Amino acid sequence: MALNLPYANPRRFGFTANLLAFLAKGTTYMLRLFRHYVPRSLMWLGAGEILVLMSSCYIALSIVLENQNGNQAHSETLSSLMMYTFIFVGVMVFSLFASGLYQLRLADNLRSTMLRLIVSILIGGLLTVVLFALAPTNWIAPNVIVVCFATALTGLVGTRLVFYSVCDASTLRRQVLVIGTGNRAAQLAKDFNHGLIRGIDICGFVPVGDHNNQRINKNDIIIPEGEILSLVARLKIDEIVIALDDHRGNLPAEQILECKMCGTPVTELLDFFERHTGAISLESLKPSSMIFSDGFSRAAMGNWRKRTFDLLASTLLLIFALPIMLFTAAAIWLESWGRDPVFYRQTRVGKHGQPFQILKFRSMHRCAESNGAQWAAANDSRVTFVGQFIRQTRIDELPQLLNIFRGEMSFVGPRPEHPEFVENLKESIPFYDIRHKTLPGITGWAQVCYPYGASIDDARRKLQYDLYYMKNRSLFLDLTILFQTTHVCLWCQGAR
């Protein structure tokens, strides 16, 4: 598939375009926060929406200030202003996160995004009203709340429309030149054409070494008339990506070094893929890459913090989720008239390959796996009526809080698989066993980034996300995954 190369249409640069490019793109498309890559544009979107929420809260609360008489009332209002602002902004940002509104791919469907935005504001509004009612002071009038949410809705919709109109503009996309035309370069072109890599334009592929091993469409290949540096200057290249199948004797090191010393970043394909997709390419991964990288390690203090969080959070969730679990157990029992057990125990592979019994609410008929373990299919006939609902909402996973409490699982980690599947996948997929070097989780980076998988190819793609988590795991990434899991549960995505 040929790429739509941007250098055929010269870009027009004005003051506004250059300003937006500096803010959204800057010197790097991604920022790395606590080892996790975050698009710079989403950082600016989040900051802008927090400013909108704070402004709407201030405008609404200023109505109270104008109607208050006396220094004591004025002092009380000012002292409570900060508390109410924090409550409002915190709840609304959580609601936006839980609705999955901080994902660039939502720009592809503006109508769905606006629907999510309205739903998230309504949910956030209900939660805020409840928290306001529990506050120690009780001076927030209903008309103030209406003004606050009306202003917030208008401001957020306007902010989103402006953001989506410019975030994918050609001025803001980084211009990338790829060195190589072999298998690795072809895989990069395929991922780009499938929309897995956003925020860039691939200006072309420069062949080096053996020209008989070209896997790139001829229309996308650029043969420099002189030095690579002159090509970089002519095409206004922002970054050079090295995608050679074999670096030995093929890399034009002096020319690439000259480009780097003149200010153009040079990135190896493995790092480029990781930064832009949140996954690690198995095609480019080598054992030496993991040994000498700055990841794939875990300090004892980090393990202690994660275990402490798991214990506290699982205990609290067990208490708060107890009514839901009791109601679910009753529904399952009534559906089968007590013939089938409420809970389902199944052997899964845990840390260091040790088997353990995972707990779930039963969502399938009792004889669903009488012929052996198998992946769930879409509209699976083995799923019961109650099971369909609890699988979509992930309620069937709640008993795994006991697995977390016992130390067999964590909240965040690679999902545990059947022993039968694991043996097959270890033989078919390189580096698959690495995912068993940590505790499995109720949710994981692969679960929030990739839909339900039911094949070896799906397992391969999900392993790329699991390896990214293994390399870059941190409390920040764990919290990000938990926030995005809330979105998956609320919108019933990815389950079968």
Q: Does domain 172-277 have CATH number 3.40.50.720?
A: yes
- Mean predicted confidence (pLDDT) in 376-405: 85
Residue with tokens 């996948």: 425
H/E/C letters for each residue in the chain? CCCCCHHHCCCCCCHHHHHHHHHHCCCCCEEEECCEEEEHHHHHHHHHHHHHHHHHHHHHHHHHHHHCCCHHHHHHHHHHHHHHHHHHHHHHHHHHHHCCCCCHHHHHCHHHHHHHHHHHHHHHHHHHHHHHHCCCCCCCCHHHHHHHHHHHHHHHHHHHHHHHHHCCCCCCCEEEEEECCCHHHHHHHHHHHCCCCCCEEEEEEECCCCHHHCCCCHHHECCCCCCHHHHHHHHCCCEEEECCCCCCCCCCHHHHHHHHHCCCCEEEHHHHHHHHHCCCCCCCCCHHHHHCCCCCCCCHHHHHHHHHHHHHHHHHHHHHHHHHHHHHHHHHHHHCCCCCCCEEEEEEECHHHCEEEEEEECCECCCCCCCCCCCCCCCCCCECHHHHHHHHCCHHHCCHHHHHHCCCCEEECCCCCCHHHHHHHHHHCCCHHHHHHCCCEEECHHHHHCCCCCCHHHHHHHHHHHHHHHHHCCHHHHHHHHHHHHHHHHCCCCCC
Instruction: Tell me where in the chain the CATH 3.40.50.720 domain(s) lie.
Output: 172-277
> Above 90 in pLDDT, residue 465?
yes
Tell me the pLDDT tens digit for each residue of 470-482: 999 888 899 889 9
> Above 50 in pLDDT, residue 399?
yes
Average confidence score pLDDT of the chain: 83
The pLDDT > 90 percentage for the chain reads 42
204 three-state secondary structure: strand
pLDDT of residue 230: 94
pLDDT of residue 98: 82
Tell me the pLDDT tens digit for each residue of 279-309: 999 988 888 888 887 777 766 557 888 899 9
Tell me the pLDDT tens digit for each residue of 316-373: 999 999 999 999 999 999 998 888 899 989 999 999 999 999 999 998 877 666 566 6
pLDDT of residue 494: 58
pLDDT of residue 237: 94
pLDDT of residue 10: 37
pLDDT of residue 37: 85
pLDDT of residue 209: 75
Cβ-based neighbours of 240, under 8 Å, separated by 6 or more: 176, 177, 178, 179, 228, 232, 256, 259, 260, 264, 265, 266, 267
- Mean predicted confidence (pLDDT) in 118-142: 77
For residues 459 and 116, the model is more confident at 459
pLDDT of residue 27: 45
pLDDT of residue 241: 97
pLDDT of residue 6: 41
Q: Which two tokens stand for residue 406?
A: 């016992």
- Mean predicted confidence (pLDDT) in 186-211: 88
Tell me the pLDDT tens digit for each residue of 34-86: 888 888 888 888 999 999 999 998 888 776 666 655 444 455 555 667 777 88
pLDDT of residue 131: 81
pLDDT of residue 106: 57
Q: How confident is the model at residue 8 (pLDDT cuts 50, 70, 90)?
A: very low
- Mean predicted confidence (pLDDT) in 225-249: 90
The closest of 127, 133, 53, 44 to 93, measured between CA atoms, is 53
